[in-house]
Amino acid sequence: MPLCSTKRRARRWAVIAGKEYGSGSSRDWAAKGPRLLGVRVVIAESFERIHRSNLIGMGIFTAGIPAGGDA
């Protein structure tokens, strides 16, 4: 019999960002860190190209919003 009968629920997070999300370091840890923190989706006005690829590689869904658009 398990010591704790309740299942732990993992929290899932979203990041809402502006322009050029992920600018700076293009290392994979820039995408791995959010994944380990529970981020599952990033919604941004624009992404740095390599960082977006790294996010997708880590299993994080990316979505863009139109510039100046209302979310």
Residues 6 or more apart whose Cβ sits within 8 Å of residue 7: none
The answer to the question of residue 7 being in a domain is no
Structural domain span for residue 24? 13-64
pTM metric for this prediction: 0.76
Examine the pLDDT at 51 and tell me if it is beyond 70. Answer: yes
Residue 36 lies in a domain: yes
Within-domain flag for 20: yes
Q: Do the domain assignments include residue 1?
A: no
Cα separation, 71 vs 33, in Å, equals 26
Whether 71 is covered by a domain: the verdict is no
Tell me the average pLDDT across 13-34. 88
pLDDT band of residue 9 (cuts 50, 70, 90) is low
Residue 20 Rama label (left phi>0; alpha psi -120 to 50; beta): left
Confidence of residue 1 (pLDDT cuts 50, 70, 90): very low
Q: How many domains does the chain have?
A: 1
